[in-house]
């Protein structure tokens, strides 16, 4: 249980880091969506390992195969299955941890929960699973493009280096122009050097990804449990290494007065209802109000480090986990397309759910 | 859609602020749980309005009636329906907003989504709905008590006033001894005065609720989307006025190195596996590891203020929304039992889901 | 688990035969449906006990109270909760079976499954629960009326007395004119006498309810598991005492050749596609094709009889269950509105689900 | 929507008749189940085409590949994805029906519902999808084998040729010894000749599959909608060409008196509770009572016949559909393993659901 997300636009991922491959079944995608293979591949390429020296050196082409649900370039309304085969597996790299629990990984908890686990590269708990999410999210983006919805994430913080600007002050089109995926080129360079230094020390560092959604119409989201931001929050928190989520004014908003925080409504030149400020982050009562939706996602430092660490083994004995294998010193650059993908899945689902709101 | 939470321990709430009442159906509660009416009532009393001058003066006894699912003091495994009738409704207070959209409320989004809405006191979007959650959460607590799981929330911040101590340094048994529900008596007093000042100005202020769960065994939570913290996050973000969620090291964790952040495993005196630090917040790979689970929830300032505000009406004309009615100047004191309730529901569900993990 | 039906138009029933009452929460009903209280009450009246001497003499007004989700006569898109309080409970009638398992009732299986049960009148397993279904089904009918969908069930068999006519040869408007709900008045009279004879002997007898749905457009139903007839089948089989379901040609169709059974398509005068025959029962590949949908539901003889029966008790000792209490000698007359209600719920759900089929 | 079955043991099938292949993701299978590849393959072989001259001559090895969820021969608790690639596709055989609607197929309804369809061999609506069900069902059987549950289906009727014996009078181990899968060898031979005659005429014929489940403990099934027989009914009705379902006494039971039909309880030699008769079909109140579970499933004659048929095309013009391609003259021999597979999936799900019944 737990490998499916969504109520109508429903994605089910499968696969392990060092098994045959990973994949996803997308059920509930409406018929008639252009299935743009190149676009989906380009999204996978944004996430794939080995993009620069500050990402893991695992080599994966991350090419996908479509097994079903697409006919003559269009979705048919039936389940769409995609698989991405694993290539550069090096399972032997993991024999040393077959019986050990790596600190702050899922080794111990999986062992307790299931009594058995595929220890190779973390198995099911590996972030490799997110490739399947990116493929599904790419399809969700293609669906949403029909309504002019645009989703753009970027790195706003790495360790202590924080971009102190609102998204409205940034040129988000710069994001993909550097390896860090920070839209401020000067800051991006500093972040790159910072991450590279951490990498050289065999250590890792955390970061923050911001995300902005433009063009979502008012009315998406469902009261009372499935609020738009509650689902966005769950979707983000379900990504490996995520420790926090906030939207709109977020944690900073707690220090504001209601009279400052409230977003006054007005009628604009086109006769449309808008708000003068947007502390609500485009969501009121759990439902989109037509303004920009924006949120922030905190990622912890990756648990895999190139250092020896104190631990225990599955016999209950003390063990020293050695720093081996390949890893990302900082996940946020590669997390950007994952954040966008999950946001797209959430929105696609709410678009479809909202169809049933009125008679 | 969206009024149901949980996969096995499933709660469905219904009701509006100024309708007949609110209620909840709890499906999937196992048979044999002691249905302690007094305890459930005491939890509702912790949430009910009119507790002190810093909470809304609406008068509700919030007494509940059991309609089904309980026989001779025990749950029977069949759906448990509870209702709480509304008493002090004063629907007339709301006639002035029948056609207006209150800033940062759900009036506008409900209108767009449904084309019709019960405008009285926010209708379904009112935080009054959370009384039903507290009742369901109380039952979940009774279920969890069988396994020694204890859930304790408290106020850690009001506006700029922040309690800079870890829960491990606090005496949480002090929490219920003051109207703010802050376990530090000195800070509680300051917060009370602060909130009261805000109230006198007809304004509102935000705050943060922390929550600690002790005694949860390892193995609860489901990979990969239904991670324990992802469900906790969704559950918290589904509470009215919540803007952010973080667990373990949270947003602060992004500035740490992996070598600092990783929680080393060791064997304690009793031969049990534990971690030396707990930046993971008791959850690894989305599954509880047996350590304390802890998280923080950010609440915005309440949207209802006693001031005139610029807005529009449902004809698309400019309108001035007047400050009328009764409201909480700060929600966090009353949010404490709601946070606990939703945490209990999440855990009860995962307890039951985990039963199906192994053959 | 198991008290909820539907994916979007979702009904959750609760309540026991001799508890406070029974009820239902309807989630996912779109906003804007006329909530016709009189109609809903009239449907409940069709199902209620004490209609004639061939139905149980329990006295229940079966009046319902609306707790939520309706505002100014319209559904608002939020959950609609309805309750029907129990009046004529006579729980004492059941003290003799507190420890005994009545043959072919659910006493034994509930006891094994839950370890505890509300034995009064069968508790949750009582057909009294179907009153909640009828109320929900009435709302579904009101929803479907917007699209011209009409659902009509009738009794076609009681014991060995079988109406050997197709629905196309019957005047279904006669159905409600007799206590048996058989649209052939002569047959109805014979059936009435037959049931009354069985009643006098303290025995019970089974029967068959047929149902015809007119006006459902093509496109409702979902491949591959949630076929329209599969959901109709499940919905019918979930009604107390049902033993079988068949649609279109049903069990008789197995003896036909494909060349006889296939329904040829043609274009009618209005240019619409229709089929010359309708062995498909209006459903092809699990999706409605625009023709009449029709099916048959088999009901066993009621398990409660006024005779002594061999059984065991909860200590594992031999017991004689005495024939006491009030019961229906034949359920099919009162089952007619229940069959219609469940069909309406299934169709309402598929209407909403189908909205998400195409971009 | 609609391609997923089950609440905990959840199977999601994908794939089309003439696409890349078909497959299934099984989520919620507990860890620790022996993944017996040979057994799963043997089940697929029982279903595969080309077994004798009375089944379709399409040539498919129906070998499956495991993509995930299995490690060192055991299930790990994570999703298990299986694919079966299509080999003998002959898509050209179907170009003549690209624009035509074959009578009593799903061509027309899919076209109306989705506006687009993969017409090759019926695409998603093809019974080829059931291979994925058989694979999933084989795993469910492996799970159930741990509890001694045994599922055995057989052909009891082909056209008018009906085996008038109860399963208790038959030697079910004979079932797999003939091409028809009828446990009575003499009847099997007659049925074979009958089907072969129908085949030679280019026609098709229906039939009935019976199924018996032994060893299921009391307590499986959930009140009130998810009754064990209601789910079995839905599962069976979701199989291609099924028109009816009955369990226990079924449609014949309606003519019985309650005093005849009721199954008296008694205590056997071992001190176990049993029933003297079993008209209940092993299910009371929707929950298994420990007796044999048995049911019957009606299959219509296959819609594909080798004859010209009147129809229309997607332009709304009259068309003559020609009899081409390969088909089964009677589906019931190959339906036997499919019926068993779906029964196994239903039971595996209820086994897991039942774990949450009691505290």
Contacts of D114 in chain A (CB under 8 A): 31-32, 76-77
Instruction: Determine if residue B324 is labeled as part of a ligand binding site.
Output: no
| Residue A47 φ/ψ, nearest 5 degrees | -95, -20
What DSSP element (H or E) covers D354? helix D332-354
- Domain assignment present for D47: yes
Does the ipTM exceed 0.90? yes
> Across chain D, what does the average pLDDT equal?
95
Q: Determine whether the interchain pair D243/C227 forms a contact, defined as Cβ–Cβ distance below 8 Å.
A: no
CA D168 to chain centre: 22
CB-CB: which of B2, B115, B250 is closest to A358? B115
- Is B327 within 8 Å of chain A by CB? no
CB-CB: which of A28, A66, A116 is closest to D1? A28
Q: Determine whether the interchain pair D356/B33 forms a contact, defined as Cβ–Cβ distance below 8 Å.
A: no
- Is A357 within 8 Å of chain D by CB? no
- Is D24 within 8 Å of chain C by CB? no
Instruction: Determine if residue A215 is labeled as part of a ligand binding site.
Output: no
Q: What is the pLDDT of residue B58?
A: 75
* Mean pLDDT calculated for residue range D193-219: 97
- Is A63 within 8 Å of chain D by CB? no
CB-CB: which of A8, A33, A78 is closest to C356? A8
Cα distance between residue C261 and residue C253, in whole Å:
7
Q: What is the pLDDT of residue B327?
A: 79
Instruction: Determine if residue D304 is labeled as part of a ligand binding site.
Output: yes
CA distances, D46 to each of A192, B286, D134, D340 (Å): 59, 41, 9, 11
Residue C287 has pLDDT above 80, yes or no: yes
Q: What is the pLDDT of residue B65?
A: 97
Contact A110, A311 (CB under 8 A): no
- Domain assignment present for B359: no
| A358 Cα to chain C: minimum distance (Å) | 5
Tokens 């009509």: give the residue. Answer: C152
* Cis ω before A169 (30° cut-off from 0): no
The model's confidence at residue D1, banded by pLDDT at 50, 70 and 90, is: confident
Instruction: Determine if residue D124 is labeled as part of a ligand binding site.
Output: yes
Contacts of B273 in chain A (CB under 8 A): 101, 108, 312, 316
Lowest-confidence segment of A341-350, C287-296, D25-34, D86-95 by average pLDDT:
D86-95
Q: What is the pLDDT of residue C312?
A: 94
CB-CB: which of C12, C20, C71 is closest to B25? C12
Contacts of C146 in chain A (CB under 8 A): 359
Q: What is the pLDDT of residue B91?
A: 63
**Interfacial C residues in 87-116 facing D (CB < 8 Å):** 101, 103-106, 108-110, 112-115
Q: What is the pLDDT of residue C92?
A: 67
Neighbours of chain D (3+ CB pairs under 8 A): A, B, C
| A204 Cα to chain D: minimum distance (Å) | 28
Q: Which of B34, B70, B78, B95 is best to mutate for the C interface (most C CBs within 10 A)? A: B78
* Regions of chain A where pLDDT drops below 70: 89-93
- Is D28 within 8 Å of chain C by CB? no
Q: Determine whether the interchain pair B77/C14 forms a contact, defined as Cβ–Cβ distance below 8 Å.
A: no
pLDDT digits over B79-128, tens only?
Answer: 999 999 998 766 666 777 788 999 999 999 999 999 999 999 899 999 99
In terms of phi and psi (left: phi > 0; alpha: psi -120 to 50; beta: otherwise), the region of C290 is: left
Q: Which residue of B has its CA nearest to D222?
A: B78
* Alpha-helical regions (H) of chain B: 37-47, 107-114, 130-145, 185-200, 228-237, 258-261, 332-354
- Is B8 within 8 Å of chain C by CB? yes
In terms of phi and psi (left: phi > 0; alpha: psi -120 to 50; beta: otherwise), the region of B118 is: beta
Residue C58 has pLDDT above 80, yes or no: no
When computed from its CA atoms, the radius of gyration of chain A, rounded to whole angstroms, is 21
Contact B222, D79 (CB under 8 A): no
CB-CB: which of A198, A205, A224 is closest to B124? A224
Distant-in-sequence, close-in-space partners of D41: CB < 8 Å, separation ≥ 6: D63, D64
- Domain assignment present for D101: yes
CB-CB: which of A8, A31, A78 is closest to C358? A31
Q: What is the pLDDT of residue A51?
A: 84
Cα distance between residue B91 and residue B294, in whole Å:
40
**Interfacial A residues in 204-263 facing B (CB < 8 Å):** 204-208, 218-219, 221-227, 229-231, 233-235, 237-238, 243-251, 253-263
Residue C27 has pLDDT above 80, yes or no: yes
Lowest-confidence segment of B255-264, C13-22, C321-330, D157-166 by average pLDDT:
C321-330
- Is C352 within 8 Å of chain A by CB? yes
- Domain assignment present for B169: yes
Contacts of D350 in chain B (CB under 8 A): none
Contact C227, C221 (CB under 8 A): yes
* Mean pLDDT calculated for residue range C156-180: 97
- Domain assignment present for B307: yes
* Mean pLDDT calculated for residue range B215-237: 98
Q: What is the CATH number of the domain that holds A279?
A: 3.60.150.10
Q: Determine whether the interchain pair B355/D356 forms a contact, defined as Cβ–Cβ distance below 8 Å.
A: yes
Instruction: Determine if residue D181 is labeled as part of a ligand binding site.
Output: no
Cα distance between residue A193 and residue B10, in whole Å:
49
> Across chain B, what does the average pLDDT equal?
95
Cα distance between residue A262 and residue A301, in whole Å:
35
- Domain assignment present for C135: yes
Q: Determine whether the interchain pair C78/A223 forms a contact, defined as Cβ–Cβ distance below 8 Å.
A: yes
| Residue A150 φ/ψ, nearest 5 degrees | -125, 135
Closest by CA to B208, choosing from B54, B50, B335, is B335
Residue D89 has pLDDT above 70, yes or no: no
Instruction: Determine if residue C53 is labeled as part of a ligand binding site.
Output: yes
Q: What is the pLDDT of residue B324?
A: 77
Check residue D264 and report its DSSP letter: -
- Domain assignment present for D48: yes
pLDDT digits over A178-237, tens only?
Answer: 999 999 999 999 999 999 999 999 999 999 999 999 999 999 999 999 999 999 999 999
When computed from its CA atoms, the radius of gyration of chain D, rounded to whole angstroms, is 21
- Number of structural domains chain C divides into: 1
Both structure tokens of C219: 């496109």
Instruction: Determine if residue D337 is labeled as part of a ligand binding site.
Output: no
The model's confidence at residue B61, banded by pLDDT at 50, 70 and 90, is: confident
- Is C21 within 8 Å of chain B by CB? yes
Neighbours of chain A (3+ CB pairs under 8 A): B, C, D
pLDDT digits over B189-214, tens only?
Answer: 999 999 999 999 999 999 999 999 99
- Domain assignment present for D359: no
Instruction: Determine if residue B47 is labeled as part of a ligand binding site.
Output: yes
Q: Which residue of C has its CA nearest to B85?
A: C67
Residue D325 has pLDDT above 80, yes or no: no
Instruction: Determine if residue B300 is labeled as part of a ligand binding site.
Output: yes
Q: Which residue of B has its CA nearest to D77?
A: B357
Residue B21 has pLDDT above 80, yes or no: yes
Q: What is the pLDDT of residue A49?
A: 86
Strands B318-321 and B309-312: antiparallel
- Is B134 within 8 Å of chain C by CB? no
Residue C62's domain comprises 4-354
Half-sphere CA count of A250, side-chain side, radius 13 A = 18
Both structure tokens of C142: 């009101």
Neighbours of chain C (3+ CB pairs under 8 A): A, B, D
Both structure tokens of D287: 């929950």
CB-CB: which of A106, A231, A357 is closest to B285? A106
Angle in degrees, 0-180, between the axes of helices B332-354 and B37-47, rounded to the nearest 10: 140
Q: Which residue of D has its CA nearest to A352?
A: D1
pLDDT digits over D279-301, tens only?
Answer: 999 999 999 999 999 999 999 99
Both structure tokens of C273: 């596609």
Distant-in-sequence, close-in-space partners of B41: CB < 8 Å, separation ≥ 6: B63, B64
């Amino acid at each position: 249980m737990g490998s499916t997300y969504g109520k109508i636009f429903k994605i089910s991922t499968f696969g392990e880091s060092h098994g045959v491959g990973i994949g996803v079944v997308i059920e509930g995608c409406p018929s008639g969506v252009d299935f743009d293979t190149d676009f989906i591949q380009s999204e996978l390429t944004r996430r794939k390992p080995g993009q620069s020296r500050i990402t893991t050196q695992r080599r994966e082409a991350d090419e996908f195969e479509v097994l079903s649900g697409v006919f003559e370039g269009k979705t048919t309304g039936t389940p769409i299955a995609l698989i991405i085969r694993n290539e550069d597996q090096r399972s032997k790299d993991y024999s040393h941890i077959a019986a050990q629990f790596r600190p702050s990984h899922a080794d111990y908890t999986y062992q307790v929960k299931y009594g058995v686990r595929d220890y190779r590269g973390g198995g099911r708990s590996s972030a490799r699973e997110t490739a399947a999410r990116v493929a599904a999210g790419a399809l969700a983006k293609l669906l949403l493009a029909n309504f002019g919805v645009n989703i753009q994430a970027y790195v706003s913080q790495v360790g202590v280096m924080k971009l102190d600007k609102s998204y409205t002050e940034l040129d988000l089109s710069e994001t993909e122009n550097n390896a860090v995926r920070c839209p401020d080129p000067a800051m991006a360079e500093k972040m790159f050097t910072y991450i590279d230094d951490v990498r050289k020390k065999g250590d890792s560092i955390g970061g923050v990804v911001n995300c902005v959604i433009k063009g979502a119409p008012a009315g998406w989201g469902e009261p009372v449990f499935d609020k738009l931001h509650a689902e966005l929050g769950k979707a983000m928190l379900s990504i490996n290494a995520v420790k926090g989520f906030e939207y709109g004014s977020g944690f900073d908003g707690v220090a504001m007065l209601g009279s400052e925080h409230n977003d006054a409504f007005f009628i604009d030149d086109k006769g449309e209802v808008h708000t003068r400020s947007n502390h609500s982050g485009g969501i009121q009562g759990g439902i989109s109000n037509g303004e920009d939706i924006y949120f922030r996602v905190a990622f912890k430092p990756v648990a895999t480090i190139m250092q020896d660490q104190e631990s225990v083994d599955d016999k209950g004995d003390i063990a020293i986990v050695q720093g081996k294998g390949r890893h990302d010193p900082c996940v946020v650059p590669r997390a950007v397309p994952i954040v966008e993908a999950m946001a797209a899945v959430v929105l696609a689902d709410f678009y479809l759910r909202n169809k049933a709101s009125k008679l």
